[in-house]
Amino acid sequence: MNRKFLLLSFVTIFALACGASTGVDENATEESQPVGEETGMGTDGGGMSLEVDALMARYADGPGGAVMVIQDGEIVHQNGYGLADVKTGKSITTDSVFHLGSVGKQFTAMGVMMLVERGLVEYDAPIGTCIPELAWMDNEVTVRRLLHHTSGILGYDESEDIYNALVESSATPTNEDLLDVLAQQGGMLANPGDEYSYSNTGYEILGSLIERVSGQSYSAFMDENIFKPLGMLNTFSVPNDRRLKDENVAQSYYFEDGQPWAYEPDILDALNGSGSIYSTLSDMYLYDQALYTNKLVSQETLAEAYVSGVLNNGEETAYGFALDLGEYAGETYVGHSGSWLGFDSYYLRFPERKLSVVVLLNLDYSEEGAEGIAFSAADLYLK
């Protein structure tokens, strides 16, 4: 966002307030392939890859998506299906750029884990000690509870008054505008830790935490600490002109009267933290593989992301740090969905099997949805 960097002294103050203690391999991206071209690279002779193509066959003539399957570090399937731009007839390829929606929450969680690993943030620190505008919040509204969606805060997701105040605060409200609105009209939906309530506002607050503690804008922090070190050259966070000017960015669509209609930009597009990131299949491959290493954070630090939130009554929420946690077909998985203005995505991982599926769609009328497609594709490889 277009805000001045905080002075180093302020960074130190915020870090201490948050309970801080004192004291690149680059992978080549896969080349893009035209729609419908088989790209299976596995030892199965392409059979399962062809079956993934069959799952996506219905999207050949309109908005569609891109699918990638990774197994044992290798891309065993990647392909594009349908149109990135209905008006021009431009096809979706494996280099097409999609908005990730709430899949982007994983990058926010990763940013927080990085700050924790560096001793600049503590998970159980009250968020109000890190962000003064939120000092009114109960001390039990902690960084960890925001990550787990158990903070109990009332945000623009649930409150029409907060939403209206936010959209009236600016032509393009930013995280700073959101903090100001919460300082004036914020409240609690529930006692911290009493219930699980999915909150985009909570992850916007975490985006602001990253900015305050690091002294960088959210987008700059992501570029410097995640995207560039991993070689994710086609991944970026808004605000960024690339989303409107890059010819590889897919247009998203809704369906009405039997026809696809392009979505227009939204007034909340400038908020960061809950889902403001664009990416490609190739870049998601680089990120996926980094999670098996210590390139971003140590495996010990990453393990915290796979621990379920726990409510005050002892009940587990089956949600970690921006990850749904569960079992499927007898296998442990982590995953997350994302949707925003017609973009629909799902990132599914079976860490013990080293199997991952990424599905990126540019339509919001899919019968199965990105999540359904991801699990259907995983079925083929889990067998």
pLDDT at 37: 37
Highest mean pLDDT out of 40-44, 171-175, 245-249: 171-175
210 pLDDT band, cuts 50/70/90, is: very high
Question: Is residue 366 a part of any domain in this protein?
Answer: yes
Tell me: the pLDDT tens digits for 183-199? 999 999 999 999 999 99
Q: Are strands 98-99 and 90-91 parallel, antiparallel or unpaired?
A: unpaired
For 152, the token pair is 């109990």
Residues 90 and 127 in one domain: no
Residues 96 and 110 in one domain: no
pLDDT at 97: 97
Question: Is residue 26 a part of any domain in this protein?
Answer: no
Residues 97 and 104 sit within 8 Å (Cβ to Cβ) = no
- How many structural domains are present in the chain? 2
DSSP output for 318-362: SB-SS-EEEEETTEEEEEEEEEETTEEEEEEEEGGGTEEEEEEES
Question: Is residue 226 a part of any domain in this protein?
Answer: no
Average pLDDT over residues 14-19: 48
161 pLDDT band, cuts 50/70/90, is: very high
- Please give the Cα distance from 99 to 275 (Å, whole number): 8
Average pLDDT over residues 334-358: 96
pLDDT at 11: 38
pLDDT at 27: 37
Residues 253 and 374 in one domain: yes
Residues 174 and 246 in one domain: no
For 168, the token pair is 């009236």
Question: Is residue 24 a part of any domain in this protein?
Answer: no
372 pLDDT band, cuts 50/70/90, is: very high
Residues 73 and 207 in one domain: no
pLDDT, averaged across the chain = 88
What is the percent of the chain with per-residue pLDDT over 70, rounded to a whole number? 86
Residues 279 and 331 in one domain: yes
Residues 85 and 117 in one domain: no
Residues 125 and 174 in one domain: yes
* For residue 29, pLDDT beyond 90: no
Residues 58 and 177 in one domain: no
Identify the residue with better confidence: 320 or 48.
Answer: 320
What predicted TM-score, i.e. pTM, was given to this entire model? 0.88
- Please give the Cα distance from 55 to 376 (Å, whole number): 8
* For residue 154, pLDDT beyond 60: yes
Residues 291 and 319 in one domain: yes
Question: Is residue 14 a part of any domain in this protein?
Answer: no
DSSP output for 101-128: GGGGHHHHHHHHHHHHHTTS--TTSBHH
Question: Is residue 13 a part of any domain in this protein?
Answer: no
Range of the structural domain that residue 349 is part of: 47-103+233-382
pLDDT at 19: 52
| CATH number of domain containing 281 | 3.40.710.10
pLDDT at 238: 87
277-279, strands of its sheet edge to edge: 98-99, 277-279, 236-237
Question: Is residue 224 a part of any domain in this protein?
Answer: no
Exposed/middle/buried for residue 379 (C-beta within 10 Å: 0-12, 13-18, 19+):
middle
Question: Is residue 18 a part of any domain in this protein?
Answer: no
Residues 290 and 145 in one domain: no
* For residue 180, pLDDT beyond 90: yes
Residues 378 and 248 in one domain: yes
* For residue 14, pLDDT beyond 50: no
Coil, strand, or helix at residue 78? strand
383 pLDDT band, cuts 50/70/90, is: confident
* For residue 314, pLDDT beyond 70: yes
pLDDT at 17: 45
* For residue 116, pLDDT beyond 60: yes
In this structure, what are the phi and psi dihedrals at residue 139, rounded to the nearest 5 degrees?
A: -65, -15
